[in-house]
């Protein structure tokens, strides 16, 4: 009896220390192109994890590998203790990995409520036959699902437009609806693909608090792919930087933003020269991505701000 | 329960109506040709309703639906004939099919037709629904043609041998299957009394058990099924799938599973329609492979598109409309003026002219209403409108419960509560 107890205890401890998402040596090639090359990282429970890199670095490909849209050539991808590699996208969604898309992918002709309802279709207790016979279970199920969906929409402040066709929503509301739909899966891991795309400074600031709020409200782990450094640096606890499919840096935002390889990737080949130039003269203008938020005060040293 | 009570009343009323039709149809429509046309239109409605599941709701493109109707028709014909002969032999019923016997024969016929066609649907659908668009279309077309040609080219007459070719030979090859072969069976009967009984059987083709009761009844049942499929979570998931496969998969809707299921459902529906067609009263008592050519598949597609892809009402209207339009144009040929024209110009091919007229009708309709007569909407209330703002929530919306759920939202509730494991 005691041994069984101990075993249970041990397994419990094991799950506690197991990262939510664990990638090891993941490689994916398309023809001659190595889109993702030997990427290894682990995302701890309840963290907000950023995946960054210049365009074409393989960030979205990595998301597609995690969610099963593509199959990795080599490596392992684990969600807690579940091996995601043999699973199909729908199965991966069901074990608790939800995602949003770079270009919003809502079900355009469906209403807001219906969009969210699709995400709990697999939890339906009443199956096709009871839908055909319109049994009590069917009605109860439908009612329960609708209730849950409306509750969720209320959390995202979308309940007032539940019956509107989703394409009629404003851009910001569509983004929120996509997240609400993902949350209907009751996920433990949420992958956000460029949530700040198309947002202005103020909206991006709002997004930071929203992401933290999401994590706390739904007890989540969040992984985000993002170009907007304001968001990435402000919200992520851990960063993983890719360039041409390869890992070039990993660590906290403070470490990553000063990492020479990262600077080179973002600022170009001549980053060293720039560093020299900046050391020589206080720069007012900064090349590349870092200049996006140029309105802020000029940085003391070169870093991604 | 008021709902149960309401359903029981509706069901009883419908059954009453069907029995009324069974016995009153001949008086209602005195011309046998028109009766045949009306029943054929009803069978076509079922074909259109079933094709609508895969082509309309699931957004796949199957162009071999006639194949599944054919599978169902041959299965139905064989089962009905065998049962009929069995009844004749053992229960001394008459050579002509009787209404009360149809309650034994038809359920078995329809179950067998649906099951066999559904099985074929699974076998064809499982590998091919991983394909997209045109490729699926080619596979379905291939299936329908292979099915038709296998039956049409089977060696008939004499000793066709045993096994598969022997079994196929009994289906009559190009000439079609024309009911049970009682005299053949009599030869192998050891009991002379049984043999004599079998020899006295007057074969008048496939026994026509499917009267208006069964055919109109099946239309009602299939319309209800199609309606409920569409307005259920399952139908909703199909619509989502049609919009965006990748996003559907990302929220747990498995595209392949949903597509295969809808394909099998469509095949079952087509099979049942075939079973009805085989033993349709006033219909052709032989089942021939040429009934299930690509033309028939194409007609079925026309019915669905014309009525409005995805619309149940549209499929019903489309089925009736196409069947009657084709017939109308045929009737036009009988007009005196046309006959005179034909006499004046013997080289004029009226059959080709018919297709020209038909095509003109179709093209005109598609120009006037490119989304079909109904679009994806329905005739009654529960409009699943494309761009209307006030689309009611799907399922069978009951204002009271919706209001209640909205009210409960105001109270902060724990979402996990409803997730029962």
Asked, for residue A73, whether it belongs to a domain, the answer is: yes
Q: DSSP letter at A299?
A: P
Both A164 and A207 in one domain: the answer is no
d(CA A198, CA A226): 12
Q: How far is B162 from chain A (nearest CA, A)?
A: 40
HEC secondary structure over chain B: CHHHHHHHHHHHHHHHHHHHHHHHHHHHCCCHHHHHHHHHHHHHHHHHHHHHHHHHHCCCCCCCHHHHHHHHHHHHHHHHHHHHHHHHHHHCCCCCCCHHHHHHHHHHHHHHHHHHHHHHHHHHHHHHCCCCCHHHHHHHHHHHHHHHHHHHCCCCCCCCCCHHHHHHHCCCHHHCECCCCHHHHHHHCCCHHHHHHHHCCCCCCCCCCECHHHHHHHHHHHHHHHHHHHCCHHHHHHHHHHHCHHHHHHCCCCHHHHHHHHHHHHHHHHHHHHHHHHCECCCCCCECHHHHCHHHHHHHHHHHHHHCCCCHHHHHHHHHHHHHHHHHHHHHCCCHHHHHHHHHCCCCCHHHHHHHHHHHHHHHHHHHCCCCCCCCCCCCCCCCCCCCCCCCCCCCCCHHHHHHHHHHHHCCCCHHHHCCC
Which of B285, B280, B274, B276 lies closest to B205 in space, CA to CA?
Answer: B285
pLDDT, residue A72, reads 94
| Percent of chain B residues topping a pLDDT of 70 | 87
Please report whether residue A294 resides in a domain. Answer: no
Q: Greater confidence, B354 or B87?
A: B87
User: A273 with A199, same domain?
Assistant: yes
> A27 with A162, same domain?
no
Q: What is the mean pLDDT of residues B35-54?
A: 95
Shared domain check, A80 and A138: no
Instruction: In whole angstroms, give the CA distance from residue A85 to residue A266.
Output: 32
Last residue of a domain, one of A185, A212, A247: A185
Residue showing tokens 């049962």? B83
Residue A202's domain is classified under what CATH number? Answer: 3.40.50.300
**Do the Cβ atoms of A165 and B387 come within 8 Å?**
yes
Cβ separation of B249 and A88 shorter than 8 Å?
A: yes
Q: Are residues A91 and A195 in the same domain?
A: yes
Please tell me which residue of chain A has the smallest CA distance to B401: A143
Domain that holds residue A54: 19-96+187-284+300-305
Q: Are A148 and B228 within 8 A, CB to CB?
A: no
Separation between Cα atoms, residue B281 and residue B105, nearest integer Å: 14
Each residue's pLDDT tens digit, B342-372: 788 877 776 777 778 788 888 888 888 888 8
Residues in a beta bridge with A50: A224, A239
pLDDT band for A289, please (50, 70, 90 cuts): very low
How many Å lie between the alpha carbon of B133 and the closest alpha carbon of chain A?
A: 19
φ/ψ of A242, rounded to 5, equals -115, 150
Query: For all residues of chain A together, what is the average pLDDT?
Result: 84
- Give yes or no: residues A87 and A23 share one domain: yes
Q: What is the pLDDT of residue B160?
A: 53
Q: How many other C-beta atoms lie within 10 A of the C-beta of residue B174?
A: 12
Q: Is B402 on the interface with A (CB under 8 A)?
A: yes
Tell me, yes or no, whether A226 and A305 share the same domain. Answer: yes
Q: Is residue A292 part of a domain?
A: no
Interacting residues of B335 by C-beta distance below 8 A, sequence separation 6+:
none
Instruction: List all residues of chain B from 214 to 243 with a beta carbon under 8 Å from chain A.
Output: 225, 228-229, 232-234, 236-237, 239-240, 243
- With contacts defined as CB-CB under 8 Å, which chain B residues touch A146? 393, 395, 402, 405
Q: Which of A146-155, B16-25, B93-102 has the lowest mean pLDDT?
A: B93-102
- Taking the Cβ of residue A91 and every Cβ of chain B, the question of whether any pair is shorter than 8 Å is answered with yes
Task: Examine the fold and report which residue of A161, A185, A209 is the final residue of a domain before the chain moves on.
Answer: A185
Interchain proximity A185–B395, CB inside 8 Å: no
Q: Is residue A230 part of a domain?
A: yes
In this structure, is residue A272 part of a structural domain?
A: yes
Please tell me if residue A89 touches chain B, with a CB cutoff of 8 Å: yes
> Rounded distance, CA B397 to CA B412, Å?
24
Which residue did the predictor score with more confidence, A204 or B220?
B220
**Closest-CA distance of chain A to residue B108, Å:** 20
Domain total for chain A? 2
Buried b (16+ CB within 10 A) or exposed e, B135-173: ebbebbbebbbebbeebbebeeeeebeeeeeeebbebbb
Contact B401 A121 (CB under 8 A): no
Give domain status of residue A35, yes or no: yes
Q: Which pLDDT band, with edges at 50, 70 and 90, does B158 fall under?
A: low
Size of interface A-B (CB pairs under 8 A): 148
Same domain, A39 and A153: no
Please report the pLDDT score of residue A10 as a whole number.
45
Mutate to test the interface with A, among B6, B245, B250 (most CBs of A within 10 A): B250
Report the residue from B243, B415, B416 with minimal CB separation from A110.
B243
Alpha-carbon distance B401 to nearest alpha carbon in chain A (angstroms): 8
Is residue A2 in some structural domain? no
pLDDT tens digits, one per residue of B224-272:
999 999 999 999 999 999 999 999 999 999 999 999 999 999 999 999 9
Measured from the Cβ of residue A219, the count of other Cβ atoms closer than 10 Å reads 10
Supply the pLDDT for residue B383. 45
A151 and B261 within 8 Å at the Cβ level: the answer is no
CA–CA separation, B216 and B210 (whole Å): 10
What's the average model confidence in pLDDT over B130-144? 86
Query: Degrees (nearest 5) of the Cα angle B173, B179, B184?
Result: 85
Query: Is residue B172 scored above 60 in pLDDT?
Result: yes
Contacts of B406 in chain A (CB under 8 A): 150, 159
Q: Are residues A25 and A129 in the same domain?
A: no
Chain B segment 181-210 residues within 8 A of A by beta carbon are: none
Structure tokens at A105: 């992918």
Residues A117 and A148 occupy one common structural domain = yes
* Mutation for B interface: A113, A134, A167, most B CBs within 10 A: A134
Please give the Cα distance from A232 to A229 (Å, whole number): 5
Higher pLDDT, B209 or B199: B209
Q: Do A181 and B261 touch (CB under 8 A)?
A: no
In a domain, A290, yes or no: no
Percent of chain B's residues with pLDDT above 90: 45
Asked if A89 and A98 touch (Cβ cutoff 8 Å), the reply is no
Could you tell me the pLDDT band of residue A11, with boundaries at 50, 70 and 90?
very low
Partners of B10 on chain A (C-beta within 8 Å) are: none
- Of A158, A185, A212, at which residue does a domain stop? A185
Residues A172 and A196 occupy one common structural domain: no
Contact map slice: A 169-228 vs B, CB within 8 A: 181-182, 184-186
- The DSSP element (H or E) to which A116 belongs, if any, is helix A112-118
Lowest mean pLDDT among B119-128, B150-159, B362-371: B150-159
- What mean pLDDT is predicted for residues B372-391? 59
**B129 touching A (Cβ < 8 Å):** no
**Are the beta carbons of A110 and B413 separated by less than 8 Å?**
no
Residue A94 is nearest to which of B246, B252, B408, comparing CB atoms?
B252
> Both A110 and A257 in a single domain?
no
Q: Does B279 touch chain A (CB under 8 A)?
A: no
The nearest CA of chain A is from the CA of B130 a distance in Å of: 13
pLDDT score of A223 more than 90? yes
């Amino acid at each position: 009896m005691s041994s069984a107890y101990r075993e249970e205890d041990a397994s419990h401890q094991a799950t506690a220390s197991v990262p939510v998402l664990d990638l090891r040596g993941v490689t994916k090639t398309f023809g001659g192109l190595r889109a993702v090359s030997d990427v290894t990282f682990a995302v701890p429970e309840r963290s907000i994890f950023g995946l960054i890199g210049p365009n074409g670095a393989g960030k979205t490909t990595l998301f597609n590998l995690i969610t099963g849209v593509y199959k990795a050539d080599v490596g392992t991808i684990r969600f807690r203790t579940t091996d995601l590699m043999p699973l199909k996208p729908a199965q991966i969604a069901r074990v608790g990995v939800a995602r949003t898309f770079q270009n919003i992918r809502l079900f355009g002709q469906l209403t807001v409520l219906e969009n969210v309802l699709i995400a709990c279709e697999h939890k339906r207790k009443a199956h096709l036959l009871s839908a055909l016979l319109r049994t009590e279970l069917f009605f109860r199920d439908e009612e329960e699902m609708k209730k849950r969906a409306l509750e969720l929409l209320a959390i995202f402040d979308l309940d007032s437009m539940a019956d509107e066709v989703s394409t009629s929503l404003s851009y910001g509301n569509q983004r929120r609806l996509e997240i609400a739909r993902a949350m209907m899966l009751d996920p433990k891991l949420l992958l956000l693909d460029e949530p700040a795309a198309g947002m202005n400074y103020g909206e991006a600031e709002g997004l930071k608090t929203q992401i933290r709020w999401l994590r706390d409200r739904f007890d989540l782990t969040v992984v985000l792919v993002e170009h907007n450094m304001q968001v990435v640096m402000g919200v992520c606890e851990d960063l993983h930087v890719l360039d041409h499919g390869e890992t070039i840096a990993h660590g906290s935002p403070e470490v990553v933003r000063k990492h020479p390889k990262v600077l080179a990737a973002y600022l170009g080949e001549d980053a060293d020269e720039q560093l020299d130039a900046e050391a020589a003269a206080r720069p007012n203008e900064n090349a590349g991505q870092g200049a996006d938020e140029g309105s802020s005060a000029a940085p003391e040293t070169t870093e991604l701000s | 329960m008021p709902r149960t009570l309401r359903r029981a009343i509706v069901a009883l009323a419908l059954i009453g109506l069907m029995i009324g039709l069974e016995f009153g149809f001949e008086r209602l429509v005195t011309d046998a040709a028109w009766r045949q046309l009306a029943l054929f239109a009803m069978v076509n409605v079922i074909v259109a309703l079933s094709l609508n599941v895969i082509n309309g709701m699931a957004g796949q493109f199957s162009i071999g639906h006639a194949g599944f109707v054919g599978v169902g028709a041959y299965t139905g014909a064989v089962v009905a004939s065998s049962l009929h002969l069995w009844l004749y032999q053992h229960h001394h019923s008459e050579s002509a099919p009787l209404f009360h016997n149809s309650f034994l024969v038809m359920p078995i016929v329809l179950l067998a037709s649906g099951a066999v066609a559904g099985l074929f649907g699974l076998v064809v659908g499982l590998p091919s629904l991983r394909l997209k668009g045109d490729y699926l279309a080619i596979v379905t077309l291939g299936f329908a043609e292979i099915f038709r040609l296998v039956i049409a080219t089977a060696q008939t007459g004499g000793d066709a041998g045993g096994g598969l070719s022997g079994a196929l030979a009994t289906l009559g090859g190009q000439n079609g299957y024309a009911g049970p072969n009682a005299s053949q069976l009599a030869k192998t009967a050891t009991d002379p009394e049984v043999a004599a009984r079998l020899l006295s059987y007057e074969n008048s083709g496939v026994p026509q058990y499917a009267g208006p009761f069964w055919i109109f009844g099946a239309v009602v049942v299939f319309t209800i099924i199609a309606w409920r499929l569409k307005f259920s979570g399952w139908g909703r998931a199909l619509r989502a799938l049609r919009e965006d496969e990748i996003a559907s998969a990302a929220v747990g809707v498995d595209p392949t599973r949903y597509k295969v299921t809808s394909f099998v459902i469509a095949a079952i529906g087509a099979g049942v329609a075939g079973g009805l067609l085989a033993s349709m009263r006033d219909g052709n008592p032989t089942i021939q492979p040429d009934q299930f050519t690509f033309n028939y598949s194409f007609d079925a597609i026309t019915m669905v598109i014309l009525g409005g892809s995805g619309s149940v009402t549209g499929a019903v209207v489309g089925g009736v409309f196409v069947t009657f339009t084709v017939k109308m144009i045929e009737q036009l040929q009988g007009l005196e003026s046309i006959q005179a024209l034909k006499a004046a110009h013997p080289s004029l091919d009226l059959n080709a002219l018919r297709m020209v007229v038909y095509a003109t009708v179709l093209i005109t309709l598609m120009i006037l209403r490119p989304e079909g007569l109904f679009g994806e909407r329905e005739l009654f209330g529960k409009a699943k409108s494309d761009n209307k703002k006030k689309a009611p929530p799907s399922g069978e919306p009951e204002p009271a419960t919706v209001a209640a759920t909205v009210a409960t939202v105001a109270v902060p509730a724990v979402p996990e509560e409803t997730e029962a494991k």
